Amino acid sequence: MSFMTMLTKKFKLPSEDEALPGRDAAITPTEPHFVNGRSLTGPYPANTKSVLFGMGCFWGAERLFWQLPGVHVTAVGYAGGHTPNPTYHETCTGRTGHTEAVLVVYDPDQIAFADLLKVFWESHDPTQGMRQGNDTGTQYRSAIYVSSAEDLEVAERSRDAYQHALKQAGKTASITTEIRQLDTFYFAEDYHQQYLAKNPAGYCGIGGTGVACPTGLGQSA
C-alpha cells in the first residue's frame, strides 16, 4: 500500500465491507476506576444515564468528566465504527471506523446532560473533521453518541446553539461533530483507562476554541 493511499484511508471512514473483521472476544477491564474505585463495566446504579463523547485523544477527555460532581464513573474505549471488539492498534489504522470515546455514566439528578454538553463543546474544537489539533485520523473525530431519542434532540439543539456562538465570535468553520443514537461501546485496554491519573505527566491534547457554550440549552431527564 502506498503512503498516499494510507494517508487517504486515515481521513476517510471505511465502509462495513472495508472494515477490519475484529473478534468475538471483548476487551474487558480487569481493574476498577483508578480514581474513584467504582466498576467500569457496571452494573451501574439504576438512576444513572450514560453518554459517549469523542473529542480527540481520550486520555485528556476522560479526565475532564471524572472530575465533575454527579458523574458516577468514566471509561475510555471505541465507538461509532464497524469492527467488533477492536484493539487500540486496529482503531489507529483508521480501518475500524471507530473514534476514541469516553463513556460517561452520570446521575441526572446531580448533573444535567446539558452541563455535560457544555464541557464537551468548550473543551475541544468540533470543527476540525477527522482530527483534533496535531492528532489526525478518523479515530480523533468529534462525536456524541446517545442512548435515547430525547437525548439526541438535546444534543442536536446544543450543537446548533454552539454553532451560533462560534459565528458570533467570528469563527466561520462549521461543526463537524457526528451526533447519533448509539449505545455500542467497546472498552479500551486497561492501560488506557484513567491514563492521566496513572501518568500525571502524560500527553493531553485537549484544547477548545475559546468560545463559551450558551447555557439554557434544555435538559434531558
Positive or negative torsion for Cα 180, 183, 189, 194: positive
Helix (H, G, I), strand (E, B) or coil at 186: strand
C-alpha 104/C-alpha 122 separation (Å) is: 17
**Residues shown for the chain:** 221
C-alpha 70/C-alpha 44 separation (Å) is: 13
Active-site residue set: 57
Task: For residue 208, give the amino acid letter.
Answer: G
C-alpha 140/C-alpha 76 separation (Å) is: 13
Q: Is 162 left (phi over 0), alpha (psi -120 to 50) or beta?
A: alpha
C-alpha 88/C-alpha 91 separation (Å) is: 5
C-alpha 170/C-alpha 55 separation (Å) is: 22
Q: At which residue does the C-alpha cell 492528532 appear?
A: 135
Residue 43: Cβ within 10 Å count: 7
Q: Which three cell numbers stand for residue 86?
A: 477492536
